Structure 1
Amino acid sequence: MYRLDEERPEDWWEVEALYDLCFAPGREALSSYRLRDGVAPVAGLSLCARDDGTLGGAIRFWPVRVGPHPALLLGPVAVHPIRQGEGLGALLIREGVGRAAALGWERVMLVGDQPYYGRFGFARLADVVMPPPTNPDRVLGLALTPGAWDGVSGEVTKFGAD
């Protein structure tokens, strides 16, 4: 049975090791990481899934801007290879998105596979531009309030950048 807890500062290295295990070397060279540099993840939304104290999965959310509009950038989300196929990724995404809505966030975006994330309601954001090199077909969004992505377009920038 998994227990979801907010990520604590002392979890950081263990979560980073999980991300290193689950993603290709050089993951931090991706454009999405430039949007996270020097910005803290959103409090209350970075979650760890543990089973008897063992880290099985983790998710983080970061504040960004799409044009002048605030949004959450979901990612990374990772599940330990021996725990994949148990629904843990779905649990982390649903719980994280639910908490984001409860905190008043209106929109979430990510860079990912539409066939996977589409089952959570994410759809392609045709008018949202991630920093290069990002495949525009992989830029997906989810409205947490009705119409939250309507009329939202432009470049994704680091939160707090003017």
Structure 2
Amino acid sequence: MASLQVNGSHNCGGFLIRKDFVMTAAHCDGDRVVLGTHNLHKSGKTVRHIVKRYRYPGYDGVGNGKDIMLLKLSREVQLGNSMRLAKIPRSAINIKDNEQCRVAGWGYTRTGGWTEDNLRVVDVSIINQQVCRSRWGRLPANIICAGGYGTNKGFCQGDSGGPLVCSGIAV
């Protein structure tokens, strides 16, 4: 996991896909990335500045899809126990309705809350596309709905850009 920060404060999540690249959401802003820690205020973390942003071609606002961005880090990080690369799919994969996946982040734990110092992880299930569209209306074609049925656990403000991990793969 990575914390995308603005002036030393957590703004969005992200995840390491190469020693020098973090993937996040295109709508996220920040001037540095913090890696290798569960607690953002403890020592032992790795800090890298962002030298280049690569937004997905055609990105035109968070509500229109294609909300993905690569961040080129100022230098490579050292991989080890506290820092590993996320597995990403090499080709299209099929995610099933109700499949159990996982999200993580330092975002709010309730609406109107505040960001957390400690990384939180929660299991979520994939929501059927038709159910999702009937509940939230028009959604971009490439969206994955997750959260679950009958639960209030999931992701919130500040968790944007973090991965949805299904069967060990960031999808």
Q: Shorter chain as normaliser: what TM range?
A: under 0.3
TM-score, reference length from structure 2: 0.26
TM-score, reference length from structure 1: 0.27
Higher helix share: 1
